[in-house]
Structure 1
Amino acid sequence: MKYLSIAAGLFAATTAVAETPVLTVYTYDSFVSDWGPGPAVKAAFEETCGCELNLVGAGDGAALLARVKLEGARSDADVVLGLDNNLTAAAVASGLFQEHGQTVTVDVPNPFGEAGTWSDTHFLPYDWGYFAFVYDNTKLATPPASFDELAASDLKIVIQDPRSSTPGLGLLLWVKEQYGTDAPKIWEALADNIVTVTKGWSEAYGLFLEGEADMVLSYTTSPAYHIVAEEDQSKSAAAFGSHYMQVEVAGKLAATDQPELADQFLTFMTTDAFQSIIPTTNWMYPAITPAGGLPEGFAAPIAPEQARLIAPADVPAIRDEALAEWQAALSQ
């Protein structure tokens, strides 16, 4: 009888585990790292969902879209978190994502419409920021103030590949939006400054911290990490007068077998419980400012007139031209 009770208990426990729904979210590697938002987001969501949140690191941001396109309707993912405004048009064109059906008011600057509004029907934002080159101010007293000054210097930089990384793609579009038909000349001038091109952000920033380069493509908010987490004031973002803007988003896959949980997660993503995690783990501005505000060490965002952005619908055609220019310049 004792053995039957044990067996019954084991069966009940196994059944309970089997009935726990699992929501699989593809995201970028740094999000799921021990120091990223992933662990705190997982714990906070699982407190409310009665589910298991399975966060899967799948390369850098641009690699996420490539993976779900390759997997198609067979993908294990229910939600993809980590695309950005430069990838949303291509993502919608793939037919793999469905509309979120939610209305949200955000604290994300909107160069193409009324501030606070969010009009993308397929993707919801969770954070935003501006790309910038980060440097060690104890080693570089006078940083370049433009791409032209950077190209004219002998400084060594690390950047990310625009085919796999959202910062890399952001840099590509930043140069193209600012210089237009002169963009190839800028890349030709920058070619001898580039130490290497990494697949993703984590590798590039790691090389910079190891002293392999003078500057690294990152964000204006990156120094906040060193200030808040390490009490280190030695890292700064070079001011280029104007900076390209990034908005990171998440969307639900049309083939998900957990549509209600996916919707619940997207809604959770816009709550204070999620948004309060972002500043000191992802080191970006939250899409919706949490009740406690931003932590000390976060610089105020640059003025709106200093922001550069290409409308998401225009990105695919511009990207192809800019990528060809970039590849030609760096192959010489």
Structure 2
Amino acid sequence: MAVFKLAERNLVRRNSVKSPHKVALGAGVGALAALALAGCSVIGTGSEGGSQSGSEGPDGAGSGVVQVVTHDSFHVSEELIAAFEADSGYTVELSAPGDGGALVNQLILTADSPLGDVAYGVDNSFASRALDEGVFASYASPALPASAEQYVIEGSDALTPIDIGDVCLNVDHEWFAEAGIDEPENFEDLLDPQYEDLLVVTNPATSSPGLAFLLATVGAFGEDGWLEYWEGLADNGLKVVDGWSDAYSVDFSGSAGEGDRPIVLSYSTSPAFEVGEGETEAPTGALLNTCFRQVEYAGVIAGAANPEGGQAFIDFLLSDEVQADIPEQMYVYPVNDQVELPESWTQFAPLADDPHEVDPADIDARRDEWIQAWTAAVIG
């Protein structure tokens, strides 16, 4: 089976165009990634055609391969991956089956034939589903910083918090200035006819940001009002796409997108990436009244061929070097609050003071019900 190996990832990185929290691959590079993942939905883990499993060398270092399964926005600097390989003795192989929602679905579907050794990118809107299905093995990392303890899932050490970010709507300042229309400020504004056909979001059934945004509306409008709100958005020309990359890089009028929608679902940190060197204003902005706090986790996959390698990779993600690398690479906040952030983040990438919240127990109990109701009302 084909695997998206580190050398191929390096080629992708050198030829890719970065977007906030995600990377939009060029056509040729996208073809490479497609070929790397084509023809199979699982990666061999020591069986015929798969990669060799990890083991411990005579000096105590690991050997063999650690297979890392991520969502399609994972990025850590190449030199840090190389340092991990040199220090640990493992060779890193990466694969990305899709957005965060697709990642969880694939991990569940392949539980009897694991995709790899460790997964990164399961967020707090999908975490309970993965835990309920027994996808991850227990592991409490000794590298977990004190500031991350608030994000540990109660009653389980199978998922380790790595980073946080606020999912919220972004606007294209230039588009609104040229159109002579005031920018929206909150959820309710988007129902106004002047914003008809201007909003693009992602599907909560296929996208973790999409589900986070659905949860934001549940938190904002309550059980009796959230679905009616979405029906109003649909009547006002809402566009729904499967994943973040399509929304931000294709349909959005701002950033590198060439679309006709100046309001897009993204992250509060996205505008910081859009600020060019020497610029003092961001061309896009986040609507901080529309945010949901997203926590992304990593976990050792149950039944992994190389669980020790998976544990080592989680410790690596929590290292000071990687935590400091996360903001510029993935445009989310590290869970280690002692890490120095880029200067531009203070002005252009704030976290929301009061993000919308939904009780984790309610998410666990009603997530599927909410997605089904949303699909019937919005997609039909």
Give TM class, smaller chain: 0.7 to 0.9
| 1:146 equivalenced with 2:196 (yes/no) | no
| 1:178 equivalenced with 2:217 (yes/no) | no
Deviates more, 1:171-180 or 1:60-69: 171-180
Q: In structure 2, what is the Cα distance between the partners aligned to 1:71 and 1:52? A: 23
Q: 2:241 aligns with which of 181, 185, 198?
A: 198
Q: In structure 1, what is the Cα distance between the partners aligned to 2:87 and 2:191? A: 51
Q: 2:325 aligns with which of 252, 258, 277?
A: 277
Q: In structure 1, what is the Cα distance between the partners aligned to 2:308 and 2:151? A: 26
Q: In structure 2, what is the Cα distance between the partners aligned to 1:81 and 1:117? A: 15
What SS class does the counterpart of residue 72 from structure 1 fall into?
coil
**Letter paired with 1:88:** A
What SS class does the counterpart of residue 344 from structure 2 fall into?
coil
Residues 105 and 117, structure 1, Cα contact 8 Å, conserved in 2: no
Q: In structure 1, what is the Cα distance between the partners aligned to 2:278 and 2:217? A: 32
Alignment correspondent of 1:5:
none
Quote how far apart the aligned CAs of 1:106 are. 4.5
Quote how far apart the aligned CAs of 1:167 are. 0.2
What whole-Å deviation, never above 9, does each CA across 1:161-180 have from its counterpart, x for those lacking one? 11121101101111112212
Residues 220-259 of structure 1 mapped to structure 2, 5 A cutoff = 220-227=268-275, 231=279, 233-240=282-289, 243-259=291-307
**Letter paired with 1:328:** A
Return closer, same or farther for 1:294/1:128 CA change in 2, 3 Å cut-off: same
Deviates more, 1:68-77 or 1:91-100: 68-77
Identical counterparts, % of pairs: 33
Alignment correspondent of 1:3:
none
Residues 275 and 290, structure 1, Cα contact 8 Å, conserved in 2: no
Residues 79 and 251, structure 1, Cα contact 8 Å, conserved in 2: yes
Alignment correspondent of 2:230:
187
Alignment correspondent of 2:314:
266
Quote how far apart the aligned CAs of 1:149 are. 0.7
Return closer, same or farther for 1:206/1:300 CA change in 2, 3 Å cut-off: closer
**Letter paired with 1:234:** P
**Letter paired with 1:70:** L
- Could you tell me which runs of 5 or more consecutive residues in structure 2 were left unpaired when the two chains were aligned: 1-51, 58-62
Residues 45 and 268, structure 1, Cα contact 8 Å, conserved in 2: yes
Residues 199 and 263, structure 2, Cα contact 8 Å, conserved in 1: yes
- Could you tell me which runs of 5 or more consecutive residues in structure 1 were left unpaired when the two chains were aligned: 1-14, 109-113
Q: In structure 2, what is the Cα distance between the partners aligned to 1:154 and 1:215? A: 11
Residues 121-140 of structure 1 mapped to structure 2, 5 A cutoff = 121-140=157-176
Quote how far apart the aligned CAs of 1:228 are. 5.8
Alignment correspondent of 2:147:
107
| 1:26 equivalenced with 2:69 (yes/no) | yes
**Letter paired with 1:149:** D
Quote how far apart the aligned CAs of 1:116 are. 7.8
What SS class does the counterpart of residue 276 from structure 1 fall into?
helix
Q: In structure 1, what is the Cα distance between the partners aligned to 2:264 and 2:73? A: 16
| 1:297 equivalenced with 2:340 (yes/no) | no
Quote how far apart the aligned CAs of 1:96 are. 2.0
Alignment correspondent of 1:287:
335
State the TM-score, normalizing by the size of structure 2: 0.73
Q: In structure 1, what is the Cα distance between the partners aligned to 2:292 and 2:90? A: 38
What SS class does the counterpart of residue 330 from structure 2 fall into?
coil
Residues 116 and 305, structure 2, Cα contact 8 Å, conserved in 1: no
Q: In structure 2, what is the Cα distance between the partners aligned to 1:25 and 1:229? A: 34
Size of the alignment, in residue pairs? 304
Alignment correspondent of 2:361:
313
Q: In structure 2, what is the Cα distance between the partners aligned to 1:26 and 1:117? A: 21
Q: 1:158 aligns with which of 190, 197, 200?
A: 200
What whole-Å deviation, never above 9, does each CA across 1:140-176 have from its counterpart, x for those lacking one? 2532122111122325111111112110110111111
Q: In structure 2, what is the Cα distance between the partners aligned to 1:66 and 1:23? A: 21
Quote how far apart the aligned CAs of 1:279 are. 0.3
| 1:214 equivalenced with 2:262 (yes/no) | yes
Alignment correspondent of 1:11:
none
Compute the RMSD of aligned alpha carbons. 2.6
**Letter paired with 1:66:** N
What SS class does the counterpart of residue 101 from structure 2 fall into?
helix
Q: In structure 2, what is the Cα distance between the partners aligned to 1:315 and 1:78? A: 27
